[in-house]
A and B are shown apart, each in its own frame.
Chain A
Amino acid sequence: MDRLMTHTLSASTPVVLPGTPALLSRGGWMTVALALLVACVVVPAMNLAVPPGHPLHLDDYWVSLLGKFCCYALCALAMDLIWGFTGILSLGHGLYFALGGYVMGMYLMRQIGTDGQYRSSLPDFMVFLDWKTLPWHWALSDSFIATLALVLLVPGAVAFVFGFFAFRSRIQGVYFSIITQAMTYAAMLLFFRNETGFGGNNGFTDFKRLLGQTITTPGMRMVLFVLSALTLMGAYVGLRWLTRAKFGRVLSAVRDAESRLMFCGYSPLPYKLAAWVLSALLCGVAGALYVPQVGIINPSEMSVANSIEIAVWAAVGGRGTLAGPIAGAFAVNGAKSWLTQVAPEFWLYVLGALFVAVTLFMPDGIAGLVRRLRRSRQGGKGVQDNQEAA
C-alpha cells in the first residue's frame, strides 16, 4: 500500500493552494472612495454651499430621499446576509427596522419636552390618554446613550430569542418565512393598541429636537444623511470582510447542504443565529437612522408588505453579492418614488411585475446582469472574473 501511496503523491506537481482573496477589488475600493466623496463632499456642497436656483443646487427633498434610500439599502444588505448567504428567507425584517425606529422615536418624543400641544412633560398621546406618569418601558428614553444601546439591544434580543427557538427546532424554508411574517404582523397589532404605550396607530411624530438641536434644519438633515451613508458603507465593507472569512463559507454551506455541514462536525445553530441576529441589528440601526429623517414612525412600518419589499430589493439587486442588494434598494425605491408621483395607482402592479420578471429573466438580479455583461465584453477572461465577484 505504501508503494501505491508514494506513487500517487510523487506523480503530480506540487499543489498550489489559492490565497485569501482581497477584501475589495481595486474597482471596488474606487467605488467606495467615490461614494464616500459624493456623500461627504459633493452632496453637502451642492445642497448647502450652492445657492438655491443655481443649476447645480441639490434640493432638500433629494437629500432626505437619498438618506432614506441609504437606510433601505442597509436593510437590503441585512436581508442579503440572511437570505442570500445563509438561504433563510425572512419576511419579517420590517419588525427589526421598526423596533430600531421606535426606540429612536421614544427618545425623540422625550426631546420635545414641554413644547407639545398640551405643554406637558409627557408625550402628547399620553396626555390624551390621561396618563399621569411615564410607563416603565420609557424609563431610559431621555438618555441618548441608552437609546443608542437599546437601538441594538432591542432588535438583537428579539431576534436572538426568536432565532434560537426557531433554529433549534430546525424550522426551515417556507415554514420559517411564514413564522417571521406572523411575528411582524402580531407585533404590528400589538403596537396599534393604545395601552402598550407606543402611541397607537398614530405612532410618534412631530419631533422637534435631536441632542438639543432643532431637527428640521438643513444642517441636521445633512448630518443625518451623511451618517446614514457612512453607516451603509461601513456595513458593506464589514459584511464583505465577514463573508470573506470562513464564517461566510459556513453560511453558504448552510444554504447549500446543511446536512453535509452537520456531518462535517458543525452545529449550524450558532452560525444561523449569528447571521440572523447580525441581520436584525443592521435593520434596527437602519430604522433608528430612518425615523429622524422622515419624522414619523407608526405601526404600518411593521406591515407585511414592508417586509416583503425588503426581500424584493435584495432579489432585484442579486442575492449573495452584497453590492447587488444596495443597487437593488436604490433602483426599486428610485422607481417607486418616481412612479408614485407620476401614476400612484400603478406602483403595486409594477412592483409585482418587477418581482416576476426578475425571478424569470434575471435570477441573479442586477449583480448577475452586470457580471454577464462584463464577461461577454471580456470574453475568455470572464470565468476568472466570475470567481472574483463570487
Chain B
Amino acid sequence: MNPDLLEQGAERLRNASGPGYGRVVQPGHLDLTHGRILYLEDVNVSFDGFKAINHLSIDIAPGELRCIIGPNGAGKTTMMDIITGKTRPDSGTVFFGGTINLLRHSEAEIAQLGIGRKFQRPTVFEALSVHENLELALQGSRSLRASVWGRLSGEQRDRLAEVLTLIRLAPEVARPAGLLSHGQKQWLEIGMLLVQDPRLLLLDEPVAGMTDQETERTAELILTLKGRHSIIVVEHDMGFIDTIAETVTVLAEGSVLAQGTLAQVQADERVIETYLGR
C-alpha cells in the first residue's frame, strides 16, 4: 500500500453515496442509502404456541405513510411491539435503516434512535400539565444531571410552541393532561412523539374513540406530517384510512395478506374472505 492508493481510497470513500460502495458504519447514524427506513424479514413470534407473527416481511420507505389494517389478532400491535423492542421475536431480522439492528437495542435506546410510538390506549402523564408532558418528551439529554440543572433553550421553547399549535392544544397548555378529553389526549401523545423529532412514527389506532370532527382533524394532522416523518398507522376506521392512505398493507394471522391501494386491497378476494369469515 502506497500513499497514492491511500489517497484514492479516501477519495472513493468521500464520493461514495449510492449503494454498492463500501461505507464506514457510523453507530447510531440512520443509513438510508438503500431507500428503506424499516426492514422486517421473516419475523416469527409465538406466545405459548400461538403464532402471533408468522414469517412476516414488511419494509417502509423514508417519508412513506403506510396504513396497516387487519382483523383482531392479526399481529398488528405485536408487530409494533417488536419494532419498539417491547417484544423480542423468536427469529427474523429487524433493521432500522441499513445498519441499525433493532433487536440489539432496548426500548429507551430505540426511542432515542428515532422511533416514536403512540399506544392503542392514550398514555400521557396525567398529573403533569400539557406543557410538562411535551417538555419531558422533548428531544435532548435524558441524563439525571440534565434533569436537575437543565433549562429549556430558546430553540426548544420554539419547538414546543410549534408542536402545541400543530396539535391544537395551545389553549390548554397549563392544564393537567388528566383533565383533557380523550381526543385531546391522543393528540397530546402524538405531540409528545413529534417533539422527539422521530424519523419513524408508529401510530396505533390514533382515532379510536374520537368524534367525527376530531377524526377529521387527526387526518389533517397526519397528512401534515407526511414526508417529514415516515409513518405507520394501524387503524380500523376505513373512512379515516381512505382519507390518508397511499399504500395499505393487510395483515392476517401474523403475516402480510395483501398490499396496494385501499381500493385494490378491498377488492382482493382473500381480504374479503378474511374480514367476512369463511
Report yes or no: A260 in contact with B142, Cβ–Cβ below 8 A.
Answer: no
CB pair A256–B148 under 8 Å, yes or no, is no
Minimal beta-carbon separation of A323 from chain B (angstroms): 17
Query: Which of A247, A252, A262 contacts B127, CB < 8 Å?
Result: A252
**With A1-B226, A263-B117 known to touch, is A387 a contact of B176 (CB < 8 Å)?**
yes
User: Are B132 and A249 in contact (CB-based, < 8 A)?
Assistant: yes
Would you call A4 an interface residue if the criterion is a C-beta within 8 Å of the partner chain's C-beta atoms?
yes
Task: Determine if A12 is an interface residue (Cβ-Cβ < 8 Å).
Answer: yes
The tally of residues in A whose CB lies under 8 Å from a CB in B reads 38
- Interface presence of B100 (CB below 8 A): no
Q: Judge whether A257 and B123 touch: CB under 8 Å.
A: yes
Q: B112 and A17: CB pair below 8 A?
A: no
Whether, in the assembled complex, A274 has its beta carbon less than 8 Å from a beta carbon of chain B, the answer is yes
User: Closest chain A residue to B164 by CB distance?
Assistant: A15
Cβ-closest chain B residue relative to A10: B165
Q: Among residues 121 to 171 in chain B, which have CB atoms less than 8 Å away from a CB atom of chain A?
A: 123-129, 131-132, 135-137, 142-144, 146-150, 157, 160-162, 164-166, 168, 170
Q: B108 contacts which of A13, A256, A266, A390 (Cβ < 8 Å)?
A: A266
Are B123 and A265 in contact, with the CB atoms below 8 A?
A: no
* In the complex, chain B residues whose CB is within 8 Å of the CB of A260: 119, 123-125
Write the nearest CB–CB distance from B35 to chain A, whole angstroms: 21
The interface residues of chain A lying within 8 Å CB-to-CB of B265 are: none
A245 to B147, CA, bound (A): 7
Q: How far is the CB of A98 from chain B (nearest CB, A)?
A: 28
B30: interface (CB < 8 Å): no
- Report whether B173 and A16 are in contact in the complex, using a CB–CB cutoff of 8 Å: yes
Q: Is the CB of B127 within 8 A of A246?
A: no
Tell me the interface secondary structure of chain A in the complex.
Answer: helix
Interchain CB contact under 8 A, B165 and A387:
no
**What is the distance, in angstroms, from B64's C-beta to the closest C-beta of chain A?**
14
Contacts of B84 in A (CB 8 A): 263
Report the minimal beta-carbon distance from B227 to chain A, rounded to whole angstroms. Answer: 6
B207 to chain A, nearest CB (A): 18
The residues of A that contact B131 with a CB separation of less than 8 Å are 17-18
User: With an 8 A cutoff between CB atoms, is A235 at the interface?
Assistant: no
Q: Does the CB pair B129–A246 fall under 8 Å?
A: no
A264, B196: Cβ atoms under 8 Å?
Answer: yes
- When the two chains form their complex, are residues B136 and A14 in contact, meaning their CB atoms are under 8 A apart? no
Question: How far apart are the CA atoms of A247 and B145 in the complex, in Å?
Answer: 9
Whether the pair B157, A256 counts as a contact (CB closer than 8 A) is no
CB of A270 within 8 Å of the partner chain: yes
**Residue B174 at the chain A interface, CB threshold 8 Å:** yes
* Residues of chain B whose beta carbon lies under 8 Å from any beta carbon of chain A: 84, 106-109, 111-112, 116-117, 119, 123-129, 131-132, 135-137, 142-144, 146-150, 157, 160-162, 164-166, 168, 170, 173-174, 176, 192, 196, 220, 223-224, 226-227
What would 14 A/B residue contacts be, using CB atoms closer than 8 Å?
Answer: A8-B165, A8-B166, A12-B165, A16-B173, A17-B157, A17-B161, A18-B173, A246-B135, A256-B127, A259-B107, A263-B84, A264-B136, A271-B144, A390-B176
